Amino acid sequence: MKNYLTVKDIDDLSQWVNTAIDLKKDPLRFRSLGQNKTLAMLFFNSSLRTRLSTHKAALNLGMDVMVMNIGKDGWILDFEEGSVMDRHSAEHIKEAAQVVAQYCDIVAVRAFASLQDKQSDEAELVLNGFAKYAGVPIVNMESSIHHPLQALADAITIEEFRKTETPKVVLSWAPHPRPLPHAVANSFVELMQISKADFILTHPPGYELNPEITRNCRIEYDQEKALENADFVYAKNWSSYQDYGRILHKNREWMMTEAKLGNAHFMHCLPVRRNVVVEDAVLDSNKSLIHAQANNRTYAAQLVLKKLLDSHSNG
Ligand code: CP
């Protein structure tokens, strides 16, 4: 594997999930693999789970780690080919990516969607810029369009808690006071497309995700109907894709409640707004898998870093 940029980089989901579950039983087993190797983690946006779990994953493999809040402390980057840099940007991605790569063996990048300009967000300028110019493996720690480390952790969690061969999994849009990107939902949909699951996507009209991503997905606009007999319910907000980056209507009635959840397990990537996205009674119940998901972020990241180190050392 050259990079881990999207769920499509997973070549055999069931093998990946089982290997991650094995790693979890003995996280320090490959501690010598990362010796004298360095991971650089570059954050253009805030993080709690991704930052700490990926750092921990690298330490478990014996790697050194460098972290930079590049969005706050770095130079403003330019991504245009042939750009005349006489405005805000001080450094081009061509120099930045190649320089960072000289200091490390793997670069992990977090750069969210701006939600201002669909075309520019979909070009994934930051992630693709590093992938194009760094010359070392790149890990996506959430980009404009994808959050594949989260999706892999979610796959591990579903495997650990599923009671049937083909569980019913529902991704349910949830209300939120701020417009949020589509990355978590997109990657979860892509994950479901390669999983053994009876998957339904439910959201109010107007919150359709990119149809290229939801191709062949069952979409149900009636939340109650979608949730019937669910085994796993993943609640997540996203802003409108068609009316790009906008909140169309508040739809507070879409909040996940204990009554709606029934006997299903509850999932959310976190951070979560209590009593807006989901009520306390769900989050504080034993049906909630939020801590298991967050814990599995470490083993998802560790598996990805291990695979990249293995590919690199095998040439
Ligand atoms: N789920 C997730 O990516 O959390 P952070 O934004 O805190 O990293």
Q: Where in the chain is the domain with CATH 3.40.50.1370?
A: 7-146+297-314, 150-293
Task: Read off the pLDDT band of 312 (50, 70, 90).
Answer: confident
Judged against a pLDDT cut of 60, whether residue 315 lies above it is answered with: no
Work out the mean pLDDT of the chain and round it to a whole number.
Answer: 97
Q: Which atom of ligand 1 is nearest to the CA of 149?
A: 3
Summarize pLDDT for 188-235 with one digit per residue, the tens: 999 999 999 999 999 999 999 999 999 999 999 999 999 999 999 999
Nearest residue CA, atom 7 of ligand 1?
48
Q: What's the pLDDT at 37?
A: 98
3-state secondary structure the chain: CCCECCHHHCCCHHHHHHHHHHHHHCCCCCCCCCCCCEEEEEECCCCCHHHHHHHHHHHHCCCEEEEECHHHHCCCEECCCCCCCCCCCCEEHHHHHHHHHHCCCEEEEECCCCCCCHHHHHCCHHHHHHHHHCCCCEEECCCCCCCHHHHHHHHHHHHHHCCCCCCEEEEEECCCCCCCCCHHHHHHHHHHHCCCCEEEEECCCCCCCCCCCCCCCEEECCHHHHHCCCCEEEEECCCCCCCCCCCCCCCHHHCECHHHHCCCEEECCCCCCECCCECHHHHCCCCECHHHHHHHHHHHHHHHHHHHHHHHHCC
The finding on whether 279 has its CB within 6 A of some atom of ligand 1 is no
Judged against a pLDDT cut of 80, whether residue 184 lies above it is answered with: yes
Q: What's the pLDDT at 152?
A: 99
Domain 7-146+297-314 has CATH 3.20.20.370: no
Task: Read off the pLDDT band of 313 (50, 70, 90).
Answer: confident
The finding on whether 269 has its CB within 6 A of some atom of ligand 1 is yes
The finding on whether 45 has its CB within 6 A of some atom of ligand 1 is no
Q: What's the pLDDT at 264?
A: 98
Judged against a pLDDT cut of 80, whether residue 120 lies above it is answered with: yes
Q: Which atom of ligand 1 is nearest to the CA of 45?
A: 6
Summarize pLDDT for 130-143 with one digit per residue, the tens: 999 999 999 999 99
> Which superfamily is assigned to 150-293 in CATH?
Aspartate/ornithine carbamoyltransferase (3.40.50.1370)
Judged against a pLDDT cut of 80, whether residue 58 lies above it is answered with: yes
